[in-house]
Structures are given as structure tokens and as C-alpha cells.
Amino acid sequence: MLTIDLRGNLAVITGASGMLGRVIARTFADCGADLVLHYYHNKDEADMLAGELRRKTGRRVMTVQGDLTSAEDVARMKDEITAKIGVPDILVHNAVIQYERKSVLEQPLADFESQFGSCVMQTVHMTKAFVPDMIARGNGGRIVVINSECASLAEPDFGAYVAGKRGLDGLVRVLAKELGPHKITVNQVAPGWTITENDRRDHTESQPEYEKTVPLGRRGTDEEIAQMCAFLASPLASFTTGAYIPVSGGRVMPAI
């Protein structure tokens, strides 16, 4: 029987205190990974999650604060992580800056810059900081990046977000080719409009107009996104790299 086994691996999850990030963290811990939980503002949530995972799974878990759009902050994070818990095997780039969506004509220029920073430059900074140690160790590694169905659909009022995510897509494909010789895979998970803890609390899981556009007829869950991330981080995905994998119920179907 196949299982997703991440035992013996250390994973850094950015945006781990957020709605999707905390579910990714729980899933990876259940699969046996030790964890670094990154946060920017939400220290209390990150600390609570770390305590929960230590109690329930017995895994090694630490938290780290940082601005992922700053090369200096990410370098400082890297030094703190390697000194306290070791060299990561897995990087999960999940964090993103939230903003009010408007048409391109109305969107402030700062929002385009922030989306480029949190989508593209996050991955650039994390790669430059952590990948050299992965290469030097010689055991390969995994990078899993959260993209979005929006990158493919390019719908109105998502201009800044789509621009950032499509730039991220190109960067990931380049990295997959550059890091492949070092046995480091780089893949993207592209969720649709995902059910999170907020939806369950507010009873907003069902969105009929959106669900009409989904071949499977429903919204996906945060657990389903996290499970795909865990698969890509595992030995089961050892020959998969450079992939953009929608987890959107068939709403996005990349063509060949």
C-alpha cells in the first residue's frame, strides 16, 4: 500500500499561520515531517499551531518571523533555521499579500508591486537563501509553490494577482530546469476557490454560482490542497518537476 511518508524530512512552510498554511502544516506533520512555520504578523497563531503539532505528532517544530519580500530578512531566517533545527529538505511557498481587487485601470501601482514581491520575489529570495545548502548536501530536495487557478483564467479584477502568479509560473519552470541536475524538484499547486476554516465557521462553503463552473460541481477543500502538496514533497513524486497542477475540480485543464 502506498503512503505519503515524509519522515526524516524538514519542511519550511511560508505563511503557515494562514488559513491554507496551517492545514498544509498539519498534513505534513501527520506524514512525519519536522516543520518550520513561517509567519509575518500572526505570531500568536503560529505559536499555537506549533504547540498543537508538537503535542499531537511529536514532531520537531519551530516558528520563524520574516518579510519574504526582503532578501535580508529571508537570509536572517535561513541562518536562524539552520542554527536551530538544520538544513531543510522541503520548501513550501504559500504566503501571499492580500489586497483589494479592482480593474487594472483602478488598481494602485503599489498592488502590482506587492503581488510581484510576494509571488515572484518570495521564491527568488527563498531559493537563493536555502537551495545552496540543499545542493551542497547532495540529497536533492523539494520545492512546492502555491499558484492559483486565476493564473490560467485571467478573470477581470485580478490583474495584479494574475500578473504576479503568471510571473511565478515562469520562474518555477526555469528553476525546475536549473535545479533538476541537483535532484531538486520544483512544482506548483494551483487551487481553485478553496473551502477553509473561515468558511466552515461562517457556513459559506457553498457558492452556487461558482460551483456551476466546476465540472465536479463543488469547491475544493484546504485538506485536498494540502494533500497534493504533501504528494509533491514526497518520494512518490520523485520524477515530477516543472508541473503546474490545478486542484480545482476540473475548472482549469491545462492543454498540451
Does any domain span residue 238? Answer: yes
Does any domain span residue 204? Answer: no
Per-residue model confidence as pLDDT tens digits over 155-190: 999 999 999 999 999 999 999 999 999 999 999 999
Does any domain span residue 253? Answer: no
Q: List the domain range (segments joined by +) for residue 69.
A: 10-192+222-247
Per-residue model confidence as pLDDT tens digits over 116-145: 999 999 999 999 999 999 999 999 999 999
Is the model's pLDDT at 33 over the cut of 90?
yes
Does any domain span residue 256? Answer: no
Looking at residue 46, which CATH number applies to its domain? 3.40.50.720
Does any domain span residue 199? Answer: no
Give me the pLDDT at residue 194, please: 98
How far CA 76 is from CA of 41, 82, 119, 191, in Å, comes to 17, 10, 20, 30
